């Protein structure tokens, strides 16, 4: 299967992250149309672009993923009228160790949570870690955006 996502996810150290030159973040507004153990259907408005994504069941850091560009106005309509959960975040792309890291600063009820993700070519890739990485949370479903759309970070005990 060619549409495979191999991704690791990490908590970010707030103090060290503030010192990183990161440029301007892009606002992501994500609505979830379907969430179950076998699949997630997400609509995303990112900057001025729209996307619809279907993700299959996750096996640690690997899962099937299909993502398609859709008109921005359609993305907004789908999010506002059909989503069963929603997440907003600012995303920053940061280069480190020859790789692109995506760092998300969550907004709203998830404010205060900062996660970094890195997509890999295969499960055995060797990664250089920036000093602003705290620890890995890959496979911990509490840090999936679909979970955060229903169980926000600020409501955790």
Residues acting as catalytic residues: 32
Q: What is the CA radius of gyration of the chain?
A: 15
Residue 3, Cα to own-chain centre: how many angstroms? 17
The closest of 28, 27, 26, 64 to 44, measured between CA atoms, is: 28
The helix, strand and coil proportions of the chain, stated in percent and rounded to the nearest 5, come to: 20, 50, 35
Report which DSSP code applies to 109: G
Q: Do β-strands 4-12 and 26-35 pair in parallel, antiparallel, or remain unpaired?
A: unpaired
Give the residue carrying structure tokens 């404010």: 111
Q: Which residues contact 126 (CB under 8 A, 6 or more apart)?
A: none
What is the spatial distance between Cα 129 and Cα 131, in angstroms, rounded to a whole number?
A: 6
């Amino acid at each position: 299967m060619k549409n495979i996502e191999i991704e690791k996810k990490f908590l970010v150290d707030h103090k060290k992250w503030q010192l990183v030159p990161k440029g301007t973040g892009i606002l992501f507004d994500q609505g979830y149309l379907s969430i179950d153990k076998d699949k997630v259907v997400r609509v995303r408005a990112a900057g001025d672009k729209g996307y619809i994504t279907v993700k299959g069941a996750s096996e640690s850091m690997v899962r099937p993923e299909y993502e398609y560009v859709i008109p921005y106005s359609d993305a907004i309509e789908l999010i506002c009228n059909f989503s069963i959960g929603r997440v907003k975040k600012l995303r920053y792309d940061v280069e480190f160790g020859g790789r692109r890291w995506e760092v998300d600063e969550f907004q709203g009820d998830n404010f205060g949570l900062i996660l970094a993700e890195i997509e890999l070519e295969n499960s055995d890739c060797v990664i250089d870690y920036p000093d602003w990485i705290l620890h890995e949370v890959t496979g911990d479903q509490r840090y999936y955006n679909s979970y955060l759309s229903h169980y926000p970070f600020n409501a955790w005990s």
